[in-house]
């Protein structure tokens, strides 16, 4: 939202958000007064409200990032994931279809998906990567719900002609990352002198994507991507979880790892082949993990009150539920 509001003063950006536990209007404080920005509090599952918003602003493009996104939460509460990620996507698609009503010129429904729809890769085959042709093969209720959403997006394209694109990104990190995810959780725990809970043996591999690199990819895909296509976003920033945690410990000069019970169904390795987006749109990630992690740690040091507010209250109860007897 910040990138589009500042880079495209001629676009009217409508930010539609339900403001669930991870939603936080303070994240956009610096642009909330911008003339080309509006906020609508809305549950994407509420089809009537979504349709009304489409009509009110005469929406001609959608970047659909709204989702329940945390794998651990999906294991505890799969229904919420099916509702938001599947039914919510369906309601947005239907509103786009009804509102645009066959007049597809200049319209686009761009769905932000995840590399988790491809399942995982084995650790002993570093030559294997996810391409856009890799079959969908999900592991968690979260990834199953995201894959279902992808299939609905493709169905609306084929059956009704809605112009769509999909991108599937690897693990994002950077500023404003909710501290339930690995990197911000570990930074916050180090700074609060809490143990660092590494799942299983810590050898699982993730392909880290700095959030601003992802935003650049979104900007390119919405403007220059081919309708009906899928683009993988990520590449060549693979690290084991242990390496990530050790980098954080080294940067902050303290921190104590505690190996805890593994995540059920835990995917071993994600790794993206970015050839398609590179060849077609000229995109490659610009931020090396070693630089991005330093910038991220500095952001959490400079914005302590932002995450301290979050990890008090409700989040505290979540942490006890998730990690209490792990």
Contact between 171 and ligand DAU by CB under 6 A: the answer reads yes
Shortest CB 221 distance to ligand DAU, Å: 17
Contact between 235 and ligand DAU by CB under 6 A: the answer reads no
Cα angle 32, 177, 215 (rounded to 5 degrees) comes to 65
Which region, judged by CB under 6 A, interacts with ligand DAU, from 15-23, 100-108, 158-166, 191-199?
Answer: 191-199
Q: What is the Cα–Cα distance from 294 to 284, expressed in whole angstroms? A: 20
Short-list 50, 56, 41, CA closest to 95 = 50
Q: What is the Cα–Cα distance from 138 to 181, expressed in whole angstroms? A: 20
Contact between 129 and ligand DAU by CB under 6 A: the answer reads no
Which region, judged by CB under 6 A, interacts with ligand DAU, from 33-41, 58-66, 67-75, 280-288?
Answer: 67-75
Shortest CB 241 distance to ligand DAU, Å: 4
Looking at the Cβ atoms of 91 and 204, the one nearer to ligand DAU is 204
Q: What is the Cα–Cα distance from 25 to 40, expressed in whole angstroms? A: 11
Contact between 197 and ligand DAU by CB under 6 A: the answer reads yes
Active site residues: 115-116, 142
Contact between 148 and ligand DAU by CB under 6 A: the answer reads no
Contact between 89 and ligand DAU by CB under 6 A: the answer reads no
> 13-17 and 37-41: which strand pairing?
parallel
Contact between 114 and ligand DAU by CB under 6 A: the answer reads yes
- Choose, by CB under 6 A, the member of 147, 152, 162, 198 that binds ligand DAU: 198
Q: Which residue sits closest to ligand DAU, CB atoms considered?
A: 114
On the CB side of 45, how many CA atoms lie within 13 Å of its CA?
11
Short-list 75, 54, 111, 42, CA closest to 326 = 75
> Which alpha helices (DSSP H) does the chain contain, by range?
2-7, 47-57, 71-76, 78-81, 88-100, 141-160, 182-191, 211-224, 241-252, 275-281, 289-302, 304-311, 314-323
Contact between 185 and ligand DAU by CB under 6 A: the answer reads yes
Contact between 85 and ligand DAU by CB under 6 A: the answer reads no
Contact between 14 and ligand DAU by CB under 6 A: the answer reads no
**Residue 324 burial (CB < 10 Å; 0-12/13-18/19+)?**
exposed
Contact between 70 and ligand DAU by CB under 6 A: the answer reads yes
Contact between 74 and ligand DAU by CB under 6 A: the answer reads no
The residues that bridge with 110 in the sheet, in sequence order, are: 63, 165
- Choose, by CB under 6 A, the member of 85, 145, 170, 287 that binds ligand DAU: 170
User: Binding residues for ligand DAU, per CB under 6 A?
Assistant: 69-71, 114-116, 170-171, 181-182, 185, 197-199, 204, 206, 241, 263, 270
């Amino acid at each position: 939202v910040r990138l589009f509001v500042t880079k495209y003063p001629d676009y009217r950006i409508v930010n539609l958000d339900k403001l669930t536990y991870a939603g936080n209007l303070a994240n956009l404080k610096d642009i909330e007064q911008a003339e080309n920005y509006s906020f609508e509090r809305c549950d994407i599952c509420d089809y009537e409200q979504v349709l009304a918003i489409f009509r009110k602003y005469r929406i001609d493009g959608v970047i659909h990032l709204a989702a329940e996104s945390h794998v651990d939460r999906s294991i505890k509460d799969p229904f919420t994931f099916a509702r938001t990620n599947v039914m919510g996507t369906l309601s947005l698609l239907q509103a786009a279809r009804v509102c645009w009503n066959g007049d597809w010129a200049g319209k686009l429904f761009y769905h932000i998906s995840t590399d988790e729809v491809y399942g995982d890769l084995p650790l002993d085959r570093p030559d294997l990567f996810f391409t856009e042709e890799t079959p969908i093969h999900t592991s968690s209720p979260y990834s199953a719900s995201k894959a279902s959403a992808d299939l609905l997006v493709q169905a609306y394209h084929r059956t009704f002609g809605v112009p769509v694109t999909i991108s599937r990104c690897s693990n994002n990190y950077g500023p404003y990352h909710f501290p339930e995810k690995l990197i911000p959780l570990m930074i916050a725990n180090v700074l609060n002198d809490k143990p660092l809970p590494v799942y299983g043996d810590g050898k699982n591999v993730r392909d880290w994507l700095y959030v601003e690199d992802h935003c650049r990819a979104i900007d390119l895909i919405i403007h220059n991507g081919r309708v009906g296509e899928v683009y993988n976003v990520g590449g060549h920033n693979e690290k084991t979880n242990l390496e990530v945690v050790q980098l954080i410990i080294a940067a902050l000069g303290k921190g104590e790892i505690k190996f805890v019970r593994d995540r059920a169904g835990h995917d071993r390795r994600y790794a993206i082949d970015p050839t398609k987006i590179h060849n077609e749109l000229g995109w490659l990630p610009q931020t090396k993990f070693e630089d991005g992690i330093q910038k991220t740690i500095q952001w959490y040091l400079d914005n302590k009150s932002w995450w301290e507010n979050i990890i008090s209250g409700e989040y505290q109860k979540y942490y006890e539920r998730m990690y209490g007897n792990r």
